[in-house]
Amino acid sequence: MSAGAGVAVAITFVWLGMVLAISFLEAPLKFRAPNVTRQIGLGIGRLIFQALNSLEVAFAVVVAAIILANPPPANVITAFLIAFAMLATQLLGVRPVLSRRSDKVLAGLDAPRSRGHYAYVGLEVIKVIALTVGGLLILFGER
């Protein structure tokens, strides 16, 4: 395995682990902690997801640069393009909607429930699958 491929695999699985831990473990559990109000949970969630998404963008840029420098097979490129597209859709399409709602809740207003979380989670599931496939294809495809 080339050094670039090794870096891509490492970044992919760190990225995957962060998404799984934060989106599917931390996010739902924080609201079950004692004395965590909806406002506190949303405030914490916004900070955590801003940090996660910033790292995801950095990871995507590095992986894309590695792919561009030494293009792997088409199936690897497709898997990562799907992951990149899911991230872009989350950041540009879903997060603004969720942010507008959380702004209202944090301001003390009673905002209606949002279906945006379902869209975000659905995109997250697709991204997890794409990262898993892309990382495994690089890991085992160059032997």
109-120 tens-digit pLDDT: 877 778 888 999
Q: Assign residue 101 a region (left: φ > 0; alpha: ψ between -120 and 50; beta: otherwise).
A: alpha
**What domain range is 125 assigned to?**
3-141
pLDDT tens per residue across span 88-110: 999 999 999 998 888 888 888 87
Q: Phi and psi (nearest 5°) for 59?
A: -60, -45
* CA pair distance 14, 37, nearest whole angstrom: 30
Lowest mean pLDDT among 9-23, 39-53, 125-139: 39-53
Q: Assign residue 90 a region (left: φ > 0; alpha: ψ between -120 and 50; beta: otherwise).
A: alpha
Whole-number average pLDDT of the chain: 92
pLDDT tens per residue across span 21-43: 999 999 889 888 899 888 888 88
pLDDT tens per residue across span 41-80: 888 999 999 999 999 999 999 999 999 999 999 999 999 9
Q: Given a cut of 90, is residue 126 above it in pLDDT?
A: yes
Tally of domains in the chain: 1
Q: Given a cut of 70, is residue 143 above it in pLDDT?
A: no
For 97, the 3-state DSSP assignment is: helix
79 token code pair: 């898997």
Asked whether 40 and 91 are in contact (CB, 8 A), the reply is no
- List the one residue out of 68, 54, 55, 75 whose CA is nearest residue 12: 55
